[in-house]
């Protein structure tokens, strides 16, 4: 991976850790804890201290069944956080997690550096905002909306279809003027995917390397972990770390997590295994 995001050049195989800041009342794991801008800012600063390489700020929950949020309300939740972090000379790149052009435009103007779109820039207006800003973007695979995506979790060959649909997204955004070298891809664990699909994606991540772009994976605390362990959301850190390890061993460059310090340690050990010399 070689990509400049904000003031930082991300150069090398990583893994790089993206810390999650949910400025929402209803996210599946920590909804409401960081809805207040001051709390969100404090959390972002804490994630930086724990070793995050960048932070991902969202003002709308994308969990299955989540209701949509009006764009002015989403802007109200996230822009003050970006402004406050930049006023404090926050050194890390800030990703804005949104599907809305107006939100992305406002956040980028306030100092955000990257757009993370769970809809894969399906909205032409958002694609234009990203292209005009020259911003890096994460294109995630999903189908439908949070309200109906789990009803669309039907595949013949899961990874082949995810790969094909991500390839289509790459062509679509290139046609909108988004430079391919600014794109990161996310297979979308938990988005229009069953728990079984989540494990299959982790097992077959290497097949997505053919798309030629850096990969981001976000397994943190998700329901596929609970499916096999029975652990509630707040007790899924060990399962998350197992998924992080699998992703790093598969060559994934960016890992999106809630628990940065623990994930960073797991990722460092996994990377050391990945990069260890093979001698006979």
Mean pLDDT across 140-169? 91
Q: Is the pLDDT of residue 280 over 80?
A: no
Share of the chain above pLDDT 90, in %: 87
Mean pLDDT across 124-132? 96
- Render pLDDT for 213-254 as a digit per residue (tens, 0 to 9): 999 999 999 999 999 999 999 999 999 999 999 999 999 999
Q: Is the pLDDT of residue 28 over 70?
A: no
Domain locations in the chain as residue ranges: 2-272
Q: Which of 77, 143, 182, 222 is catalytic?
A: 222
Does the active-site annotation cover 274? no
Does the active-site annotation cover 222? yes
Mean pLDDT across 24-52? 87
**Which CATH fold would you assign to the domain 2-272?**
TIM Barrel (3.20.20)
Residue pair 255/15 in contact (Cβ under 8 Å)? The answer is: yes
Q: Is the pLDDT of residue 31 over 70?
A: no
Q: What is the pLDDT, as a whole number, of residue 145?
A: 79
Instruction: Give the chain's mean pLDDT.
Output: 94
Q: Is the pLDDT of residue 30 over 70?
A: no
- Render pLDDT for 173-192 as a digit per residue (tens, 0 to 9): 999 999 999 999 999 999 99
- Token pair for residue 13? 């195989």
Q: Is the pLDDT of residue 61 over 90?
A: no
Q: What is the pLDDT, as a whole number, of residue 27?
A: 67
Q: Which of 100, 163, 256, 264 is catalytic?
A: 256
CB-based contacts of 278, cutoff 8 Å, min separation 6: none
Q: What is the pLDDT, as a whole number, of residue 38?
A: 95
Q: Is the pLDDT of residue 32 over 90?
A: no
Long-range contacts of the stretch 85-92 (C-beta < 8 A, 24+) = 85/41, 85/44, 85/45, 85/111, 86/110, 86/111, 88/41, 88/45, 90/44, 90/45, 90/48, 91/7, 91/48, 92/6, 92/8, 92/44, 92/48, 92/52, 92/53, 92/54, 92/55
Mean pLDDT across 81-100? 97
Task: Give the global pTM.
Answer: 0.95
- Render pLDDT for 102-124 as a digit per residue (tens, 0 to 9): 999 999 999 999 999 999 998 99
Q: What is the pLDDT, as a whole number, of residue 153?
A: 86
Q: What is the pLDDT, as a whole number, of residue 146?
A: 78
Burial class (CB in 10 A: 0-12, 13-18, 19+), 38: exposed
Q: Is the pLDDT of residue 270 over 90?
A: yes
Q: What is the pLDDT, as a whole number, of residue 65?
A: 73
d(CA 185, CA 152): 20
Q: What is the pLDDT, as a whole number, of residue 40?
A: 95
């Amino acid at each position: 991976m070689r990509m400049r995001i904000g003031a930082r050049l991300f150069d090398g195989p990583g893994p790089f850790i993206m810390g999650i800041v949910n400025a929402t009342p209803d996210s599946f794991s920590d909804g409401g804890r960081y809805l207040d801008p001051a709390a969100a800012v404090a959390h972002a600063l804490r994630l930086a201290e724990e070793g995050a390489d960048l932070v991902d700020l969202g003002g709308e929950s994308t969990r299955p069944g989540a209701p949509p949020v009006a764009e002015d309300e989403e802007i109200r939740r996230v822009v003050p956080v970006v402004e406050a972090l930049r006023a404090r000379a926050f050194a890390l790149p800030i990703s804005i997690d949104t599907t809305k052009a107006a939100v992305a435009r406002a956040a980028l103007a306030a100092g955000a550096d990257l757009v993370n779109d769970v809809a894969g820039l399906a909205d032409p207006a958002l694609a234009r905002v990203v292209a005009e800003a020259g911003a890096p973007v994460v294109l995630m695979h999903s189908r439908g909306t949070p309200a109906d995506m789990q009803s669309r979790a039907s595949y013949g060959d899961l990874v082949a279809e995810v790969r094909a649909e991500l390839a289509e997204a790459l062509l679509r955004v290139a046609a909108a003027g988004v430079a391919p070298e600014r794109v990161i891809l996310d297979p979308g664990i938990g988005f229009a995917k069953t728990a079984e699909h989540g494990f299959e994606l982790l097992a077959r991540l290497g097949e997505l390397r053919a798309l030629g772009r850096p990969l981001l994976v976000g397994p943190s605390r998700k329901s596929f972990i609970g499916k096999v362990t029975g652990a509630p959301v707040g007790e899924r850190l060990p399962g998350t770390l197992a998924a992080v390890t699998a992703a790093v061993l598969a060559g994934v460059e960016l890992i999106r997590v809630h628990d940065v310090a623990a994930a960073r340690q797991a990722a460092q050990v996994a990377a050391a295994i990945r990069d260890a010399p093979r001698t006979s």
